[in-house]
Amino acid sequence: MKNQILRYSFSGVIVSLVHLLVGITFSEITSFPISLVNSFAYIFATAFGYIVHSFFSFKSHVSKKNFLRYIQVIILSIFFATCFSFLLGFF
């Protein structure tokens, strides 16, 4: 159990760094608003995190069906977060 927690923590740090690097890179090469850049980086890092956690943290198999369902939930959560941000006037 202790090793799994360490693997999960290490994977989380790597996924966070991937999110940061993708966001910085994408913002440097495009002129898109930072909210759109962050959404793209979030989706990319989340997909990367799913794969890393499946193979490294939990040592399970990645299935296409579960992965697509996971991505759909993430995209839906971004949609609702964006709508909520508009309602609060953050954009």
pLDDT at 75: 82
Residues 6+ apart with CB under 8 A from 22: 40, 41, 44, 45
Q: Which residues contact 14 (CB under 8 A, 6 or more apart)?
A: 52
User: Quick one: pLDDT at residue 14?
Assistant: 94
The ranges of the chain with pLDDT < 70 are 90-91
pLDDT reported for residue 25: 95
pTM exceeds cut of 0.85: no
| pLDDT at res. 21 | 96
The pLDDT, as a whole number, for residue 30 is: 93
Q: What is the pLDDT of residue 24?
A: 94
